[in-house]
């Protein structure tokens, strides 16, 4: 059992950064209706994001991990209001953006951008690179004419491309180059915060490393915060300051990178870490493999949602949902093995 229980709020502050989070989520929920009765009422809801609290600080990278369907991509999209939240709050740079109208959201999109997973479908094939990267500069009235071209060129060079690429179309580039163009487009408005949704998963391993290095350099230069969505804990180990683990729409563990990879507390996190090919992690954790298939988020298990697969399941786990609590400084877990 954990030896220290303090607070239920996963609020975290890196001592070398601003005391104020760039992003704060409070009880964020997104449920998708499924099926319709004769009267048009939903027959159920997929609880894709269920009561998520999280803070991210300037200059830090928070990894968001979990299996496919755990809600991590929906969470990223809900933060940016590309999917509308059903409850809770999203605060960006201290401003509650949860209910802002489209006009006000346009200004917010200058502060927060998204880099998509698939560099093949995320770039409009009808536009040249200049058109793609220049579009947000036009929309936000940041540059036009010669100044716009100079700015696009500066951005291109910053991501490792050059003047000869300005008038080419997306199909003329490799996957890695396309992702560089996507990153340049996201950077055009000088955002404070980026959601990176599996930004390297469609790329070869050697190209992945180059893109991750580029993202690190840009963060050092510009102080941006990243939410890095991935199913690859090996990448998280090397790239993120802190890690948030999701299971069936719930956050079940948040910890510093080092703490998570040396002594994860939740059985699900331990199973994910054990599944990483050695020797990336080094020390192997003494855990038992997960059992059964992942349950449906449409009808999640009672009590702890992980109880149907957990090798350490106890009676209490089937009926009582564990709270996310801080069991050691900056290390939060939702599991009856730890805490009260
Ligand atoms: Fe396993 Fe119980 Fe902890 Fe859930 S609460 S992870 S079932 S031990």
Encode pLDDT of 42-53 as tens digits.
888 999 999 999
Residue finishing a domain among 142, 157, 189: 189
For the sheet with 325-328, list strands across it: 112-115, 193-197, 225-230, 61-65, 242-247, 250-256, 331-333, 325-328
Instruction: Based on the fold, state whether residues 328 and 230 are members of the same structural domain.
Output: yes
Chain segment 9-23, per-residue pLDDT in tens: 454 444 445 579 999
Q: Is the confidence at residue 28, as pLDDT, over 60?
A: yes
What value does the mean pLDDT of the chain take? Answer: 87
Instruction: Based on the fold, state whether residues 309 and 183 are members of the same structural domain.
Output: no
What band does 279 get if pLDDT is binned at 50, 70 and 90?
Answer: low
Instruction: Based on the fold, state whether residues 106 and 227 are members of the same structural domain.
Output: yes
pLDDT over 90, % of the chain: 64
How far apart are the CA of 250 and the centre of ligand 1, in A?
Answer: 13
Give residue 246's pLDDT.
96
- Is 34 touching ligand 1 by the criterion CB < 6 Å? no
- Is 64 touching ligand 1 by the criterion CB < 6 Å? no
Would you say residue 6 lies in a domain? no
Would you say residue 145 lies in a domain? yes
- Is 335 touching ligand 1 by the criterion CB < 6 Å? yes
Instruction: Based on the fold, state whether residues 92 and 233 are members of the same structural domain.
Output: yes
Instruction: Based on the fold, state whether residues 266 and 311 are members of the same structural domain.
Output: yes
Give residue 202's pLDDT.
77
- Is 77 touching ligand 1 by the criterion CB < 6 Å? no
Instruction: Based on the fold, state whether residues 102 and 132 are members of the same structural domain.
Output: no
Instruction: Based on the fold, state whether residues 73 and 47 are members of the same structural domain.
Output: yes
Would you say residue 45 lies in a domain? yes
Range of the domain at 180: 121-189
Q: Which residue has the CA at smallest separation from atom 7 of ligand 1?
A: 307
What number is the average pLDDT over the span 203-221? 87
The whole model's pTM is what? Answer: 0.87
CATH classification at residue 48 = 3.40.50.300
Instruction: Based on the fold, state whether residues 215 and 155 are members of the same structural domain.
Output: no
Give residue 205's pLDDT.
81
What number is the average pLDDT over the span 151-177? 92
What band does 150 get if pLDDT is binned at 50, 70 and 90?
Answer: very high
Instruction: Based on the fold, state whether residues 102 and 142 are members of the same structural domain.
Output: no
Of 37 and 146, more confident: 146
Would you say residue 9 lies in a domain? no
What band does 203 get if pLDDT is binned at 50, 70 and 90?
Answer: confident
Give residue 92's pLDDT.
96
Q: Which residue has the CA at smallest separation from atom 5 of ligand 1?
A: 335
Q: Is the confidence at residue 144, as pLDDT, over 80?
A: yes
- Is 310 touching ligand 1 by the criterion CB < 6 Å? yes
Closest-lying ligand 1 atom to the alpha carbon of residue 304: 4
Closest-lying ligand 1 atom to the alpha carbon of residue 267: 6
- Is 71 touching ligand 1 by the criterion CB < 6 Å? no
Closest-lying ligand 1 atom to the alpha carbon of residue 266: 6
Chain segment 282-319, per-residue pLDDT in tens: 444 445 556 557 888 888 899 999 999 999 999 999 99
Would you say residue 116 lies in a domain? no
Residue finishing a domain among 152, 171, 189: 189
Instruction: Based on the fold, state whether residues 44 and 160 are members of the same structural domain.
Output: no
How far apart are the CA of 255 and the centre of ligand 1, in A?
Answer: 18
Instruction: Based on the fold, state whether residues 226 and 254 are members of the same structural domain.
Output: yes
Would you say residue 27 lies in a domain? yes
Q: Domain count of the chain? A: 2
Would you say residue 165 lies in a domain? yes
What number is the average pLDDT over the span 114-118? 85
Residue finishing a domain among 160, 189, 218: 189
Closest-lying ligand 1 atom to the alpha carbon of residue 310: 1
How far apart are the CA of 307 and the centre of ligand 1, in A?
Answer: 6
- Is 312 touching ligand 1 by the criterion CB < 6 Å? yes
- Is 187 touching ligand 1 by the criterion CB < 6 Å? no
Instruction: Based on the fold, state whether residues 172 and 308 are members of the same structural domain.
Output: no
What band does 38 get if pLDDT is binned at 50, 70 and 90?
Answer: confident
Would you say residue 185 lies in a domain? yes
Closest-lying ligand 1 atom to the alpha carbon of residue 311: 1
């Amino acid at each position: 059992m954990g030896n220290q229980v303090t607070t239920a709020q996963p609020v975290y502050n890196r001592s070398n950064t601003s005391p104020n989070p760039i992003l704060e989520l409070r009880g964020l929920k997104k449920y998708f209706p499924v099926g319709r009765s004769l009267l048009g009422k939903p027959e159920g809801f997929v609880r894709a994001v269920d009561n998520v609290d999280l803070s991210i600080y300037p200059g830090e990278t928070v990894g968001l991990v979990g299996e496919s369907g755990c809600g991590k991509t929906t969470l990223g999209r809900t933060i940016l209001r590309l999917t509308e939240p059903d409850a809770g709050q999203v605060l960006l740079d201290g401003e509650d953006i949860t209910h802002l109208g489209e006009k006000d959201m346009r200004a917010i999109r200058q502060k927060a951008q998204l880099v998509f997973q698939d560099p093949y479908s995320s770039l409009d094939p009808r536009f040249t690179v200049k058109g793609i990267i220049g579009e947000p500069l036009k929309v936000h009235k940041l540059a036009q004419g010669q100044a716009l071209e100079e700015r696009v060129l500066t951005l291109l060079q910053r991501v490792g491309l050059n003047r000869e690429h300005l008038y080419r179309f997306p199909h003329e580039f490799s996957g890695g180059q396309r992702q560089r163009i996507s990153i340049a487009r996201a950077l055009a408005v000088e955002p404070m915060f980026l959601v990176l949704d599996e930004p390297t998963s469609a790329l070869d391993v050697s190209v992945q490393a180059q893109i991750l290095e580029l993202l690190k350099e840009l963060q050092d230069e510009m102080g941006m915060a990243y939410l890095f969505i991935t199913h690859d804990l090996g990448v998280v180990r090397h790239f993120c300051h802190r890690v948030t683990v999701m299971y069936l729409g719930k956050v079940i563990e948040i910890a510093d990178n080092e703490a998570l990879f040396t002594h994860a507390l939740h059985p699900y996190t331990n199973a994910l870490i054990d599944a990483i090919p050695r020797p990336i992690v080094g020390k192997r954790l003494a855990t038992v493999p997960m059992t059964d298939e992942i349950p449906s988020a449409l009808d999640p298990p009672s009590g702890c949602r992980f109880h149907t697969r957990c090798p350490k399941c106890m009676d209490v786990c089937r009926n009582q949902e564990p709270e996310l609590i801080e069991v050691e400084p900056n290390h939060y877990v939702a599991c009856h093995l730890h805490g009260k």
